[in-house]
Each structure stands twice: as C-alpha cells, then as structure tokens.
Copies of this chain bind each other. A is one copy, B any other.
Amino acid sequence: MNGTYAESGESMSLIVQKFGGSSVRDIQRLFHVAQRIRRDQQQGHQIVVVVSAQGKTTDGLIEKALEICESPSKREMDMLLSTGELMSISLLAMALQQLGCPAVSLAGWQVGIHTDGSHQNARILRVDTRKIHQLLDEGKVVIVAGFQGVTENGEITTLGRGGSDTTAVALAAALKADRCQIFTDVEGVYTADPRIVEEAVKLQEISYQDMLEMAAMGAKVLHYRSVELAKQEQVCLEVLSSLNEAPGTLVRSLRDSSPSLRGLTADQTTLYYVIPHITLEDAGRLMTDLYRQEIRPDLAEQPAAGQLCFAISSHQRSAVTEGLKRLRLGALLDENYAKVTIVGNGLTAIPQLKQECDSALQEAEIPCRSSWLGERRLSFLLPRNQAQKAMQILHPIVLRHRT
C-alpha cells in the first residue's frame, strides 16, 4: 500500500484523533476540525475521531439535573450526560459530510466500549473493533462519542473526568493505531502552563512516567487515567493544538535520563484538611477508604499526636466528605491553599535543589505551609493567591536543571 501514498512521504496509517469540547464549541470550530480531519484522511490515513461534548454542554446538563435534585442518581446522570457527546458526534459527522468526506458517528454502546458498572466513574474493560474496522474499510471517518461506555447489562456509563482522553487511548490500543493525537487549545506539553509562565518551553517529547507525574500534580493537558492506559498499552500519544499546525509533544517510552527536571505544575484547587482528633486506627481506615477510590491524599502529616492533615484535589471532595462521615470524624477544611510541584527524575540527586527553591520562595516572601521531596517530584503547599507568582519564581530553576 505504501506506494500509493508516496507523494506525502508517509505510508497509510491508522490514527485516533481526540478533540475536546472547546475545539468543537461552535459551528466555525466544528468546520475547522472537520477540515483538518478531511485533509488527514485525504492523505491516505484511516481516521477514528473521538469528540467531547461541545463547549459548556455538560455543565449545562449538570445544572439542569441539580435544579431537579440535589444529589441525582448516578445512573440517571450518566443517561443525561451521555447525550452531550451524541450531539457533538452527529454534528461533526454532518460537517464532514457537508465537506464531501464520508463519515459516520457511533455512540459508545454502538462501538462496544464495555465498562464496569461504576456510574459516573466507569473503567473501560474492553473495546470491540469489528464495527470500526468495517466502517474504516468502507472509506469512512469513524466518529466515536468520548466519555461514555456500556456495561454488560446494557447500562450507559460515563468515565469521569478526562473521560474522552481515555476513550481515545483505549480505542488506539484496541485498534493498534499508529498514533493517538490529543488536540487541545495549547500546542503541547510545556515546562509550565504558558498562560502563567511566559518563558515556558514546549517539550518535544516526554516519558509516560513524567507525564503521569505532571497529570497527577495538576497539569490539565492530559488526564491521569489516559496516560496510565497509554503507558500500559504502549500507545504513542501526541498532544497538539487544534488551532494551528505547530508540532506537538510526543508522550512515549523514553529511557530514564540522568537526574533532571521536566516541568512545573500547579493544582490550584487543592483542599487542605485538618482532622484535630483521630486515632491511628481511624487514620488508617480513612486512608484505605480513599486509596480504594484511587484518591491519594498528599502532603499528609501528623503535626501532633492524634491529629492528621492532608491535601486533596477539589474534585475528590465528596469522597473525603463521605469517608469522614462514615468514620464520624470532624475536620477543618481550608480552601486557601494551592499545590505547586516540580516534576523530574532523580530529584534527590540534584544538589541544592530543595534549598534553591526554598530560598527563592523565601526571598519572594511566599510562605510555604508544607513540602515534599521525592525521586520524581518536589511539592509545595502555598497560599492559593500566590501560586502563580511562585510558579514564575520557580520556573527559572526548572529551566536551569533540565537535562
């Protein structure tokens, strides 16, 4: 087959492309995305597209539900939220057809994206590929609804935060795609969020492990689960912009380099809990309970006997609230903190790193509530309103210790 596509210098490959909600938020963006897909298909590639719900659709649906019910059933929420992606896939298929490009949309259950039964936070168990391969062989662009799946009992599920990324990676793995492209509104993975740190540098490539660490620590460009799955299935990910043609960042297997820094992230939605009275036994129970839900409280410490403090990300709040309730524990919740993290490799082997950071923060008069140094990251718990300033101050240190 290669000869057919000699002109482009590339052989035919199967590419999974994922577009987020802002990339398809209105008609203009939708056609922009459609044109890009058509071009790639015309170059001889087989294209499977994963789309999220348009713009603020999902938020609007959640709002509707909350007007009816304070805590709606998770099953019915999944039924409701799954419609956002069904709208965007059909509209994108129409846009492609309007451009003369044969396209067909598929709901999660139509593909056969099989998940477990954890409504609102389901895990993909396996993906059927027969229907997609058949449609690709008919020359069609196949557009799959992100974020949704179906249980073996035919119940509709959604995958939770960043679900569409996970759909894309799972499809790429099942289809043995040559590449999984995640289109977003930034040009790739940077040493820091370029909207906050002007000097941030785009990375050509990053290892799965470094990307996982950055995602876990608040980088929004890729969701943790999708990177985890990509690593496990060895899917070559590419993060790039849907707005321009700049080369993106490849996320893949890389040999561990010598000790060096990779990037800087911030979780500005950190919640800091102080439990003033807790037995060691209950502390263990609480942690076990949270770990079981894939929540890893960070920066935990026991400042005094019978006390426990820890940080989580705000989207994990309800799980902690429930956990505390079950154990009948009272806790103080402080929402005034952010967690700023330097990610890298062999951090403890970089001389003076911690001291350099501490002095830089001290000089800028940014108080640090707590910090953690490990092989792969150095985190600081700081006042939320100073997080951006802290990033700007710490970023030169990251650049100095890259490679």
Interface residues, chain A, with chain B CB atoms under 8 Å away: 27, 30-31, 61, 64-65, 67-69, 72-73, 75-77, 79-80, 82-83, 86-87, 89-91, 93-95, 97-98, 104-105, 107, 109-110, 154-156
- Decide: B94 and A76 in contact? CB cutoff 8 A: yes
When distances are taken between beta carbons in the complex, the residues of chain B under 8 Å from A107 are 79, 156
When distances are taken between beta carbons in the complex, the residues of chain B under 8 Å from A27 are 67-68
When distances are taken between beta carbons in the complex, the residues of chain B under 8 Å from A156 are 107, 110
When distances are taken between beta carbons in the complex, the residues of chain B under 8 Å from A155 are 110
User: What CA separation (Å) do A33 and B107 show in the bound complex?
Assistant: 30
What are 22 pairs between A and B in contact, CB < 8 Å?
A: A61-B87, A64-B91, A65-B91, A65-B94, A68-B91, A68-B94, A68-B98, A69-B94, A72-B94, A72-B97, A75-B104, A76-B90, A76-B94, A76-B104, A76-B105, A79-B90, A79-B93, A79-B105, A80-B87, A83-B83, A83-B87, A110-B156
- Distance in Å: Cβ of A237 to nearest Cβ of chain B: 28
Q: State the number of copies, please.
A: 2
Further contacts, 4 of them, CB under 8 A, given A27-B68, A64-B91:
A68-B91, A76-B94, A82-B86, A110-B154
Pairs of residues from A and B, 5 with the lowest C-beta to C-beta distance, nearest first: A79-B90, A80-B90, A83-B83, A69-B98, A69-B94
- Decide: A76 and B97 in contact? CB cutoff 8 A: yes
When distances are taken between beta carbons in the complex, the residues of chain B under 8 Å from A77 are 90
User: Which partner residue on chain B sits nearest A82 by CB separation?
Assistant: B86
User: Which partner residue on chain B sits nearest A75 by CB separation?
Assistant: B104
- Decide: B82 and A94 in contact? CB cutoff 8 A: no
User: What CA separation (Å) do A107 and B91 show in the bound complex?
Assistant: 20
User: What CA separation (Å) do A69 and B90 show in the bound complex?
Assistant: 12
User: What CA separation (Å) do A378 and B264 show in the bound complex?
Assistant: 81
- Decide: A73 and B91 in contact? CB cutoff 8 A: no
User: What CA separation (Å) do A94 and B64 show in the bound complex?
Assistant: 11
User: What CA separation (Å) do A311 and B229 show in the bound complex?
Assistant: 61
When distances are taken between beta carbons in the complex, the residues of chain B under 8 Å from A72 are 94, 97
When distances are taken between beta carbons in the complex, the residues of chain B under 8 Å from A93 are 73, 76, 79
User: Which partner residue on chain B sits nearest A112 by CB separation?
Assistant: B154
- Distance in Å: Cβ of A282 to nearest Cβ of chain B: 33
Say yes or no: A89-B98 contact (C-beta < 8 A), given A30-B68, A68-B30.
no
User: Which partner residue on chain B sits nearest A85 by CB separation?
Assistant: B83
User: What CA separation (Å) do A399 and B309 show in the bound complex?
Assistant: 82
User: Which partner residue on chain B sits nearest A87 by CB separation?
Assistant: B83
When distances are taken between beta carbons in the complex, the residues of chain B under 8 Å from A65 are 90-91, 94
User: What CA separation (Å) do A83 and B86 show in the bound complex?
Assistant: 7
